Structure 1
Amino acid sequence: MALNNLKDIYIDQLQDLYSADSQAAKVTRELAGKANDASLKEALEAGVEGIEEGMATLKELITSHGADPKGEFCRGMEGLVKEARAHAIEEEITDPDARDAMIITQYQRMTHYGIAGYGCLVAFAKRLGLESDREKLQECLDATYDGDDTMTAIATGGINEAAMS
C-alpha cells in the first residue's frame, strides 16, 4: 500500500501495532511461565489479557477502515521479542529474583514500544477527526501506561532489591 497521506500512515501504523501486539502477547506468555514472583506472574498474565484487548480494538479499527489487520509485520517488535527471549527466557540466570528483574526489563521495553505506537495513533486519529477511534486508542494507551506502572511498582517494591543478593 502506498503511503500518500496521514490516513494511509494511520492505517499502516494500526496494522503495525496489531502485529507488534500479536508478537508481544506470545512472548509475554512465555515470560509469565518463567516468572518466579507470584505478583509478577499475575501481572504478566494480566498483561497478556490487556494486549489481547488492545489487539481486538486495533482489529476493529483496521477493518472499519477497510484494511486487513495482518497487512504489516512489525520488525521493531520482532527485535524486542528476540531480545526478551534471549535475555529473560534462554539466558542462564541462576537466581530467580535476578531472572524476574530481567523479565520486567524486557517486558517494559516492549511496553514502551506500545506506548509510542498508541501515542502516535491517538495523535493521528485526533488530526484526522476520527473521534471514536481516538477515544478507543486513548483507552489502549492508558491501559498500556497502567501495565508499565504496575511493572515499575513490582520491580521497586522488592524484586530489584531481592535480585541484589
Structure 2
Amino acid sequence: MAFASLKDVYIDQLQDLYSANKQARLATQKLAAAASDDTLQKALEAGVIGIENGMSALDAIIRGHGATPSAEFCKGMEGIVKEAQAHALDADFTNDEVQDAVIITQYQRMVHYALAGYGCVSAFAKRLDLGEEAKTIDKCLNETYEGDRTMTDLATNGINKQAA
C-alpha cells in the first residue's frame, strides 16, 4: 500500500489492529483453557468477548472506508502470540499457580500491544475529524485498559502470592 495521507496510515493501522486482535483472540482462548484459577479463567473468557467486540467495531470502521479488514497481517502480534504459546502453554509447569502467573504476563503483553494500536488509531481518527469513529475506538481502548487492570489486580492480589 502506498501511503499518500494520514488517512492511508489510519486504514493500514486499523487493519493491522484487526489482525492483531484476531490472533490475540485465539491465543486468549487457549490461555483461558489452560488457566487453573477460576477467576482468571473467567477474566480471560471476558477478554475473548472484549477482543471480539473490538474486532466487530474495527470491521465496521474499516469497511466504512471501502477497505477489507483482513488485508493486513500483524507480524508484531504474531511474535507475541508465539511467546505466549512457548512460555504459558508449552513450558513445563509443576505448579498451577506459577502457570497462572505466566498466563497473566503473556496476556498483558498482548493487551499492551492492543493498547498502543488503539491509542494510535484514536489519535489519527481525531486528527482526521472522524468523531464517531474516534468515540468507537476510544470505547475499545477503555475496555482494553479495563481488562489490563483486571489482570493486574488478579496478579497482585492473589495469583503472584500463590505462585511465590
Query: What band does the TM-score fall into relative to the shorter chain?
Result: over 0.9
**Which structure 1 residue ranges, 5 or more long, are not aligned?**
none
2:53 matched to which residue of 1? 53
Q: Distance in 2 between matches of 1:152 and 1:61?
A: 30
* TM-score, normalised with respect to structure 2: 0.99
Q: Percent identity?
A: 58
Letter in 2 for 1:11: I
Structure 1 ranges of 4+ moved more than 4 A: none
| TM-superposition CA deviations, 1:43-95 (whole Å, max 9, x none) | 00000000000000000000000000011000000000000000000000110
Instruction: Please name the residue that 2:2 is paired with.
Output: 2
Letter in 2 for 1:91: A
Tell me the residue number matched to 1:13.
Answer: 13
Deviation at 1:157, TM superposition (A): 1.0
1:10-159 correspondence to structure 2 within 5 Å = 10-159=10-159
**C-alpha separation in 2, matches of 1:132 and 1:149:** 26
Question: Between Structure 1 and Structure 2, how many residues are aligned?
Answer: 164
Tell me how far 1:26 sits from its aligned partner: 0.1
TM-score under structure 1 length normalisation: 0.99
- Give the distance between the partners of 1:148 and 1:77, measured in 2 at CA: 17
Distance 2:25 2:70 in 1: 15
The superposition leaves residues 109-131 of structure 1 with CA deviations (integer Å, 9 ceiling, x where unpaired) of: 00000000000011000000000
Unaligned runs of 5+ in 2: none
Moved more, 1-10 or 22-31: 1-10
Shift of 1:3: 1.2
